[in-house]
Amino acid sequence: MSEEKPERDSIGEDARIDALEERLRVAREREEQRNRPQVKGVDANYRSGNRVLADLLGGIFGGVVIGLSIDYFAGTSPWGLLVMLFIGIVVAFRNIFRAANTRPDDPQS
């Protein structure tokens, strides 16, 4: 006395799977649109931070190297180092202020 199960309706099941796949596709598109601007903003902020750090370290290091070179060849120790270090810091901060005042969508940065 085995009871026979009716076969599944393949048309109804396919329609449900198709509807589910469509809903998943729409949800993925919505999720990609929502996350897209956030990734660009984080990347731009990261690059901006690296640029500020490079400007600051480059100005200080460049001032020290040039100042030590002037002191070595001219014999003006420590004045060449102090003057060039001060100039390097001023140039570094000028570059940082200039970068901070440019628009993010400006292609010249």
Token pair for residue 92?
């570094």
**Cα–Cα distance between 89 and 91 in angstroms, integer?**
5
Say whether 35 sits in a helix, a strand or coil. helix
Left, alpha or beta for 102 (phi > 0: left; psi -120 to 50: alpha)? Answer: beta
| pLDDT, tens digit only, all 109 positions of the chain | 455 555 555 566 788 888 889 999 999 999 888 877 554 667 778 888 999 999 999 999 999 999 999 999 999 889 999 999 999 999 999 999 998 888 766 555 4
Residue 26: C-alpha distances to residues 17, 30, 33, 51 (Å): 14, 6, 11, 38
